[in-house]
Amino acid sequence: MRKLTTAALALALSAPVLAAPPAKPARLGMCAACHGENGVATTNADAPHLAGQKAVYLRAALHQYRDGHRDHPVMRAMAGPLSDADIDQLAQWYAAQTPSKGAP
């Protein structure tokens, strides 16, 4: 019985952990207007797709827009009022989205 319990425990510990998807951010609407709620920009040809981008990249980019290190007037205005928590939620949300097959 002990071997069976040990084997079951080893199997359970080696199984992939399925994390819950991130909650929809409160500030998503302001980003979704150009980038799409699911991160695939369909309404603005100049807006990049964000779905599936690495969260660390998205977080850094939003900090740079907010802090004025990246010069894009629209993004500066959008990111300006974001808190660090807002930025983290948005980065996690868009990183968790599945890129569209047609998206570059």
Domains of the chain: 2-96 (1.10.760.10)
Q: What is the Cα–Cα distance from 74 to 80, expressed in whole angstroms?
A: 10
Q: Tell me the pTM.
A: 0.78
Q: Which residues contact 75 (CB under 8 A, 6 or more apart)?
A: 65
Per-residue pLDDT of the chain (104 residues), as tens digits, is: 566 556 555 555 555 556 777 899 999 999 999 999 999 999 888 999 999 999 999 999 999 999 999 999 999 999 999 999 999 999 999 999 999 776 55
Pairs from 40-47 (Cβ < 8 Å, separation ≥ 24):
40/97, 40/99, 40/100, 40/103
Give DSSP secondary structure letters for 10-34: HHHHHSPP-PPPPPPPTTHHHHHHH
Q: What is the pLDDT of residue 82?
A: 97
